[in-house]
């Protein structure tokens, strides 16, 4: 029996191969637990596609191997492509068994709805925290020609019926899950962004999130395993960065310090990425981070400063004043380190005024970048998903369900807010000279209006001077219809705003608006950039990388990066 497990990595700004760990872990678990007699008759192959791979390429690759079972690991970024590809695959080979699983199908209700919509799918595993044992039991049942009725945690098709089996009563013991790195299942022979897990579960239970499959208790992989994985990754010169796929790496501070200390002993520098709750930040932890990477960029989730929206989120969200205190300490402990702040547009309970207040608060902390998460998906297993109708949310009817409007935030207001905040990101991140000027006038207290009012003043004039949005396009419609379409449109918006003529108009507009009040503040930012742009426009320009990057560096360094 030949089994293919299909991954597709997300579109990221890093020009590296990205490992999708889930399918490799499934393969490792089956091969470690199935009897040798069966293992000789079952082959499992993991196929990793990058985000650029077309559906036709996927279909050709999969069908050319003539598998018996194809499993798809489904996330937001590959959902559409996997649904389309699997339909074509089944039409070419109806005898194939197609199995789906992943965070997008994290409830029996969603799995059943999914199978009704996509008749090509035979089995869905809907319990993410027990994926290994479920997959193992499915393969064993199919291999032995046993009925799937006994396999817990799946929805499956029998004749014309869709049947739902109950979930497992226990989660998989992490100590018995083999590492695909240690078992040499993952072969890394090109520059790679690696992923490892040191724990599973999430303690916070935020309304918009389904991390950990609803399991709030944190379960840990043995430290011995974590150390061995790190040894292998550090020894491989193709590994350039490591993402720790834990909901909060610092839930157990003592344990996380032990891991950081182990990494600090390594002779080679690999860039680490961690998910962390800002409340976990302590002086000794920050100091260890700066030893790992003196220019480490922290990344914190604020989401909102609106108390009503925070109440809807739940999950013991940190309050804005405590968030600001932690940022102040971070700046004191690691003055050379930068940080990014996440916020969300369109949260239940939020409105246009509240959203702009969140932006104002976040910018007052002077992050390297303000990241705006939009649209908001109703993820199966999350409280927003379960209470979507009781909360009077309006959302798309196709999976993934996506919020289009709330009782306090109309679709029209979301569209206006989205157009406004994309400009905010362009001005405060993608053009460093403008960002430096913006933060300077508030450091020196030479602006008498709020940060959002200052930006609105600029944006109002910029909308008249520069066209970065396609005519007659509703951004909310595009964003909630298709993630792929939204990424394409965002890329187009960034390209429009970075064109030479657009850049010149942006800088000259801000100069004209502020020169009478802030001339001195512009002398090291707006004015030299404007002079450079004038030379570029006149073609009277000799290459000067430093000055050129001062204007365009964010666009250049983040060529494939999209506004979130």
CA distance linking residue 246 with residue 227, whole number of Å: 16
CA distance linking residue 362 with residue 210, whole number of Å: 25
* Residue stretches of the chain with pLDDT short of 50: 543, 545-547, 557-564
Residue ranges and CATH numbers for the domains of the chain are: 2-174 (3.40.50.280), 188-380 (3.80.30.20), 410-564 (no CATH)
Predicted local confidence at residue 378, as pLDDT: 93
Predicted local confidence at residue 472, as pLDDT: 86
Predicted local confidence at residue 402, as pLDDT: 95
Task: Give residue 391's region: left, alpha or beta (phi > 0; psi -120 to 50).
Answer: alpha
For residue 500, CA distances in Å to 487, 529, 546 come to: 22, 12, 17
Question: What's the full length of the chain, in residues?
Answer: 564
Residue with tokens 């000027």: 437
Mark 459-491 as b/e (b = at least 16 C-beta within 10 Å). Answer: bebbeeebebbeeeeebbebbbbbbeebbebbb
For residue 270, CA distances in Å to 192, 233, 255, 257 come to: 11, 9, 20, 17
- For 229-263, the pLDDT digits (tens) are 999 999 999 999 999 999 999 989 999 999 999 99
Contacts of 301 (CB under 8 A, 6+ apart): 277, 278, 341, 342
Predicted local confidence at residue 77, as pLDDT: 86
Q: Which DSSP string corresponds to 494-525?
A: HHHHHSHHHHHHHHHHHHHHHHHHHHHHHTTT
- 416, 419, 422, 427: CA torsion to nearest 10: -100
Predicted local confidence at residue 216, as pLDDT: 67
Predicted local confidence at residue 556, as pLDDT: 53
Q: Which DSSP string corresponds to 118-148?
A: -TT--EEE--GGGHHHHHHHHHHHHHTT--G
Predicted local confidence at residue 560, as pLDDT: 39
Q: Are strands 403-405 and 394-395 parallel, antiparallel or unpaired?
A: antiparallel
CA angle 280, 284, 289 (to 5 degrees): 80
Predicted local confidence at residue 19, as pLDDT: 82
Largest CA distance in the chain: 82
């Amino acid at each position: 029996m030949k089994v293919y497990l299909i991954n597709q990595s997300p579109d990221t700004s890093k020009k590296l191969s990205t490992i999708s760990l889930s399918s490799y872990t499934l393969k490792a678990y089956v091969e470690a637990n199935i009897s040798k007699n069966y293992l000789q008759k079952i082959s499992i192959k993991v196929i990793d596609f990058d985000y650029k791979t077309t559906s036709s390429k996927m279909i050709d690759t999969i069908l050319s191997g003539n598998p018996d079972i194809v499993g798809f690991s489904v996330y937001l970024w590959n959902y559409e492509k996997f649904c389309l590809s699997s339909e074509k695959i089944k039409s070419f080979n109806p005898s194939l068994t197609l199995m789906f699983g992943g965070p997008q199908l994290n409830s029996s209700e969603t799995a059943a709805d999914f199978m009704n919509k996509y008749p090509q799918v035979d089995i869905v595993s809907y319990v993410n925290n027990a994926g290994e044992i479920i997959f193992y039991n499915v393969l064993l049942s199919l291999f032995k020609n046993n009925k799937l009725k006994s396999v817990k945690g799946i929805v499956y098709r029998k004749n014309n019926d869709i049947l739902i089996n109950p979930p497992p009563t226990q989660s998989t013991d992490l100590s018995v899950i083999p590492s695909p790195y240690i078992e040499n299942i993952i072969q890394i022979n090109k520059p790679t962004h690696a992923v490892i897990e040191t724990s599973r579960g999430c303690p916070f239970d935020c309304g918009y999130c389904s991390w950990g499959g609803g399991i709030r208790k944190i379960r840990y992989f043995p430290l011995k395993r974590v150390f061995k994985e790190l040894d292998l990754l550090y020894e491989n010169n193709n590994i350039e960065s490591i993402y720790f796929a834990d909901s909060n790496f610092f839930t157990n501070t003592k344990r996380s310090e032990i891991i950081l200390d182990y990494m600090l002993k390594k002779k080679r520098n690999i860039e680490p990425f961690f998910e962390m709750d800002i409340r976990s930040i302590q002086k000794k932890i920050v100091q260890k981070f700066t030893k790992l990477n003196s220019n480490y960029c922290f990344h914190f989730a604020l989401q909102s400063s609106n108390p009503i929206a925070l109440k809807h989120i739940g999950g013991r969200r940190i309050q804005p004043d405590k968030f600001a205190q932690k940022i102040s300490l971070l700046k004191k402990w690691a003055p050379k380190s930068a940080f990014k702040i996440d916020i969300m547009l369109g949260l239940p309970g939020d409105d246009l005024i509240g959203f702009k207040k969140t932006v104002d608060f976040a910018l007052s902390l002077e992050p390297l970048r303000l990241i705006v998460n939009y649209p908001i998906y109703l993820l199966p297993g999350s409280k927003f998903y379960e209470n979507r109708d009781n909360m009077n949310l309006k959302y798309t009817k196709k999976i993934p369900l996506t919020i289009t409007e709330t009782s306090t935030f109309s679709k029209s207001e979301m569209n206006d807010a989205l157009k406004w905040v994309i400009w905010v990101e362009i001005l405060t991140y993608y053009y460093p000279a403008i960002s430096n000027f913006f933060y300077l006038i508030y450091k020196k207290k030479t602006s008498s209006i709020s940060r959002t009012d200052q930006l609105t003043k600029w944006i109002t004039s910029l909308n008249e001077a520069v066209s970065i949005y396609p005519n007659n396009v509703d951004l909310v419609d595009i964003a909630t219809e298709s993630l792929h379409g939204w990424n394409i449109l965002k890329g187009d918006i960034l390209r429009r705003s970075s064109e030479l003529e657009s850049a010149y108009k942006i800088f000259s507009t801000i100069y004209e608006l502020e020169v009478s009040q802030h001339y001195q503040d512009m002398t090291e930012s707006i004015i030299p950039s404007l002079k450079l742009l004038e030379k570029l426009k006149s073609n009277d320009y000799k290459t000067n990388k430093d000055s050129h990057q001062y204007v365009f560096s964010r666009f250049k360094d983040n060529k494939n990066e999209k506004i979130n």
